[in-house]
Amino acid sequence: MRDAGVARFPGARGRIPNFTGAEEAARRLCGTPDWERAGVLKANPDLPQLPVRAAALSQGKVVYVAVPRLAADLPFLALDPDRLTASPRRAASIKGASSEGVPIAFDAMAPIDLIVCGSVAVNRKGVRIGKGGGYSDLEFALPREAGVIGDWTTVATTVHGVQVLDEDLPETPHDFRVDLIVTPEEIIRSVRKRGERGLRGPAGILWADLDKTKIAAIPELHRREKLRPDRGNLPDLHD
């Protein structure tokens, strides 16, 4: 992206990269039937998806964003356009969400119609690569296990065209796939296998893929782990 001259502030390395045309990609997404049907979104807090979050709030949609690293007892914030004291764009920023967003428990969340995630790269099968920290996967798995994400939910990503690859990408059982890839120039429906329906991702938390250090750092994981009948069988970080 840097070599192609399409990476914008604050750069592409080590983050979900901001890109030239992010606003146009957001406008394209807003023109899809998936967007029109959605009253509730979950969106990542990164800069390239700021236009998506702002558009959702300006159109009266509720937006859920995750607390950084899911480090709070209530790991999601609800941005309700009817209760904002700032403009939609300001409320949609990371700083604005932290002040305007209301911490919300899973049992108080409305069903999520549309997930918008950031990606480092994605292919036409819908396999995506994020930053590698695993937080996007947990932001999917926690509400999926709680029942607020389901087969009715569409998963979309907005990216630059150079981030869309034709090659196979690595994928693990805890990864989720996207249904909709939106660039400044086009809308891509990811390829599905014949007969494949519903949400493509884990049905909940895959405990075997987590270590004790990660669980201890995320209060909601720590709480749920204590309720598991087979708790105590997870690896230490250096096992």
pLDDT in tens, 59-108: 999 999 999 999 999 999 999 999 999 999 999 999 999 999 999 999 99
- Only one residue has tokens 């749920």, namely 224
Could you tell me the pTM of the whole model? 0.92
* Residue 155 near residue 162, CB atoms below 8 Å: no
Span 107-131, average pLDDT = 96
Task: Copy the structure tokens of residue 53.
Answer: 């979050």
Q: Distance between CA atoms of 109 and 105, rounded to whole angstroms? A: 7
Which residue would you say has higher pLDDT here, 61 or 196?
A: 61
| Predicted confidence (pLDDT) at residue 236 exceeds the cutoff of 60 | no
**What pLDDT does 239 receive?**
36
Which residue, 119, 94, 107, is CA-closest to 177? 119
Q: Which domains does the chain have, with CATH numbers?
A: 22-191 (3.40.50.10420), 205-239 (no CATH)
**Can the peptide bond before residue 170 be classed as cis, meaning omega within 30 degrees of 0?**
no
Mean of all residue pLDDT scores within the chain: 93
DSSP annotation string for 83-109: G-SS-HHHHHSHHHHHHH-EEE-GGGP
